[in-house]
Structures are given as C-alpha cells and as structure tokens.
Amino acid sequence: MRSTIRVELPAGLRLLAGLGREVRVAVEGAVTLRTILDALEAAHPTLQGTIRDRNTHRRRPFIRFFACQQDLSHAAPDDPVPAAVAQGLESLLIVGAIAGG
Amino acid sequence: MSRVRLLVGTRKGAFVLTADGARRDWAVAGPYFPGWEMFHLKASPVNPDRIYASQSSGWFGQVVQRSDDGGATWAAMDNNFLYDGVPGTHQWYDGTPHPWEFKRVWHLEPSLTCADTVYAGIEDAALFQSRDGGRSWQELSGLRRHGTGPAWQPGAGGMCLHTILLDPTDPARMVIAISAAGAFRTDDGGQSWQPINRGLRSAHIPDPTAEVGHCVHHIAMHPSRPGSLFMQKHWDVMRSDDAGGSWHDISGDLPTDFGFVIDVHAHEPETLYVVPIKSDSEHFPIDGALRVYRSRSGGNAWEPLTNGLPQRDCYVNVLRDAMAVDSLDACGVYFGTTGGQVYASADAGDTWQAIVRDLPAVLSVEVQTLP
C-alpha cells in the first residue's frame, strides 16, 4: 500500500533543500519514522545526514519528532506512527531544538 | 584590470565581497546559507569559479557546498565523512580515552593542479580527500593511524585539523596541523606521516621534547619557499626552514606572542603578518587597540600597523583562518574579526579600511585575485 505522508521541516532544512514548510512524500508499506525518513531522503538527498546520522540512522541530538501532540523523538524507528500521520491527516513535525545562539 | 573576491565565512552565513584592483569600493553579496555556520570557503586555483564551502550546524550537522559560478549559485555535495575502519579513541580533556567522532569540516583545501580534487580537515582530527569535486570523500587514514593518534587531545575549540598546506614544488608533500596534537608532514601523498614538532615548547606539556600535544593555531607558507614554514602556536610565533624538521622562536619584540592568524606577503617571502592577542584567557587585543604586526625580516623584529584600525575600546578576536593576502602588485592583506568587521589593506598593511563592519562573527577569510 502506498501512503502520502506530510512532513514539516525546520527553517534551516527548508533553506538547505529549497523546500516549503510542508513536504509530501510517498511511503510504500508500513509507515514508520524509518520509512518516512527513507522516503524523505530519497526524494531530497540533500537532507541525508541532517536529521539522522548517515550510517547509524540515529537521530541527531538537537532534532525532535512530534505528531498528533505526541513526542515521537524516542520512539523506535520501526514503530508505526500515529494513524492520522499514516493517513495524511496530520503532519510529522521535524523540529530543531530550541538551543544555541 | 584585475579584481579581487573575498570569501568570508561567518557564524551565521557566508558573504562574497568583490572589488576592482584599486580595492577601495566593495560590493557585498550574501548572506549565503543564512543561519548556518560557514567555517571555511576556498576556491580552486585551477578553476577560480569553483568554490568549496563548509556549511555546519549544531542542529543539522555538516554539509559541503560547491559553486561553479564564483559563488552566485551553490549545490550541496556529499557529507558522508566516514572514518576508514574502526577509528578507536583519542584522549579526552580529562585524559580518558574518547571515541573518534566526526563533527564538522574546519578547512577545505582545493588541489593546486586539479579542480575536482579537494582536501578536508575535519574534527575529530582527520584528513579527507575528494577526487570528484566533493561528491564523495575518502579518509587519508595514514595520518590518524599514526602511532601517536591515541594520545591526541582536543584544544578548547575541539580536536580540529585546521591547516592544510600543499607544496607547489612537490605534489607528494603536504603539511597539516591539529589542535592540540601539533603539525605533521607527508612526503608520499598522504600515505604516511611524521610529526614535525621538534623545537616547539608548550608550558602545558611536562615533557619538553614531546612529539605531540602542541596546540598549533595556524601555519603559513610562501609558495616560492615551501621549505620555510611560519607558525602561530597557542603561545609563540615559530619558524622552520627545513619543512618542519625543526622550529625556532621568532616572537622577538611582539607585545604578546599569543594569537591565531599568521600569513606571508604575496611577493616578499620574509614579510610576515600576525595579530597579537592578549592571552589564552583574554582573547582580544592588548589595551583595546587592534594592531596587525608585520615583520620584514622573517620574524623577531616586528612593527605595529595601526593606520585605519581601531585603537581604543576594541575587544575582538581574529580566528585562525581569518587572514589572507592577495597577489596584486601592491599586496593586499585582509582579516576578519569576531566582531563582524572585515579589514582590508591595499598597501601591504600600511593603511587599513573596514570593508564591512557588522557581519556576524567572522570564522574565515580567503581571497582570490582574478583577471
């Protein structure tokens, strides 16, 4: 099954990839953080390494994932995301932590 | 008429400053990559319109950018800096073993002979090479695998490889420097390396003959005399005339020998420039007066250059990659400050003007002399 997922990017990554606030990516099969990020990076290779490590796929420390008023930052990458995200009703929010100067 | 192009990296973006050969009136373009730390930008001497840039962020990590039109447009290159093999550990600040971890690219050094070949000095210290214009990177791991690697420690700014000097007379010879491991040289194109720190003295190292552990801030070389190297160490301005085989102190009459930048006049291999900084705990000029010091004798005798520079209430720093010289007949000298000023001298340092005064903190300055 193919799902169209809505993803919101932080300003720095929109600038880097030349994208708007919301991006739509197509995910085949199970909709998880891993499959969403795989699809996002495949569609926009410039984002590789900016959200998660290129090789370990570990989330970068100052990046957080939110959706449906839940903090998904510590969710397992292969867990299903909330149904509303999988159905394209809500966005997965990729957020840069409030830090730095 | 010749013209010059300054490539300025700052804490919050990159800027390209251009002027004709008179170097009086400047156009400022940018910020490029606003909000990102632009550690270093440098153009290929083979193709001056090809510029490599290190774009970094605490949130989003490392990106390498490339322009093929002199900085007007940019494209992201590969950012996968994967150490060769299992990198092991170096020393942490407290002396305990700490895993080698990629953090950022401090310095990009394009090849002297091939526009597609570029070297990257990274933190945690290692040297990478790309032969395809930045599309892929491979570690020259002979450096990190040097037997002293597990003893290397970070300086306050991190364990960065910040200086890469290519010998124009010998393609196999390269000199690099790491804070706070010291300087190293390869004579076989990066396969094997030797530490070149004999003669350096650092108060924080108990063993005065220590092979590594010196906090080298920057090294400069004149292309006509690649055997002569000039070093601004944490403390001490040093000189070697045997490609780093031995060093001697040329701080001479400098008011303080702490600092970060050092450079060599484009046409006078014995004319040097430094910006003395008060101390390792007070990173600003002595007495609030910004002074470049010039030696016309290869060191030891230095003269302050103040005309056009602020001589009161100035408490900026000049970071290690933030000075450059052009190659016009009257050598131009440029430097950027942590206060966001970029100063230019079109007469080898006799007089200065601020090209811009209010950029974000300047991390690096490079200059191109263009036809």
The average pLDDT across B189-216 equals 90
**How many residues are recorded in chain B?**
371
**CA nearest to B158, candidates B103, B216, B212, B77:** B103
Residue A24 lies in a domain: yes
pLDDT of B13 reads 98
At residue A100, does pLDDT exceed 80?
no
Q: Which of A41, A46, A98 to mutate to test the interface with B (most CBs of B within 10 A)?
A: A46
Q: Are B27 and B35 in contact (CB under 8 A)?
A: no
- Least confident span in A9-18, B141-150, B189-198, B244-253: B141-150
Residue A23 lies in a domain: yes
- For B329, residues 6+ apart whose C-beta sits below 8 A from its C-beta are B267
Would you call A11 and B35 a contact, using CB atoms and an 8 Å cutoff?
A: yes
Encode pLDDT of B353-368 as tens digits: 999 999 999 999 999 9
d(C-alpha B1, C-alpha B22), whole Å: 9
pLDDT of B205 reads 83
Question: Considering just the CA atoms, what is the radius of gyration of chain B in Å?
Answer: 19
Domain boundaries, position A90: 2-96
Cis omega before residue B180 (within 30°)?
Answer: yes
The CATH number of the domain where A40 resides is what?
3.10.20.30
Would you call B60 and A63 a contact, using CB atoms and an 8 Å cutoff?
A: yes
At residue A101, does pLDDT exceed 80?
no
Would you call A62 and B59 a contact, using CB atoms and an 8 Å cutoff?
A: yes
Residue with tokens 């690096």: B364
DSSP conformation class of B359: P
Encode pLDDT of B325-347 as tens digits: 999 999 999 999 999 999 999 99
pLDDT of B206 reads 78
Compare all CA atoms of chain A with the CA of B83 and give the residue at the minimum distance. Answer: A55
pLDDT of B316 reads 98
Encode pLDDT of B154-178 as tens digits: 988 899 999 999 999 999 999 999 9
Residue A89 lies in a domain: yes
Residue A101 lies in a domain: no
User: Looking at CA atoms only, how far is residue A50 from chain B in angstroms?
Assistant: 4
User: Looking at CA atoms only, how far is residue B39 from chain A in angstroms?
Assistant: 16
Amino acid in the structure at residue B167: D
Looking at the 3D structure of chain A, how many domains does it have? 1
Encode pLDDT of B260-310 as tens digits: 999 999 999 999 999 999 999 999 999 999 999 999 999 999 999 999 999
pLDDT of B182 reads 96
Residue A36 lies in a domain: yes
The average pLDDT across B314-318 equals 98
Tokens coding A32: 């998880």
Would you call B60 and A55 a contact, using CB atoms and an 8 Å cutoff?
A: no
- Least confident span in A17-26, A76-85, B11-20, B142-151: B142-151
Residue A31 lies in a domain: yes
d(C-alpha B1, C-alpha B3), whole Å: 7
- Pairing of β A91-96 and β A2-8: parallel
Residues of A in contact with B62 (CB under 8 A): 49
pTM of the model: 0.96
Would you call A49 and B79 a contact, using CB atoms and an 8 Å cutoff?
A: yes
CB of A96 within 8 Å of any CB in chain B? Answer: yes
Handedness of CA B179, B180, B186, B189 (dihedral sign): negative
Residue A52 lies in a domain: yes
What pLDDT band is residue B211 in, cutting at 50, 70 and 90? confident
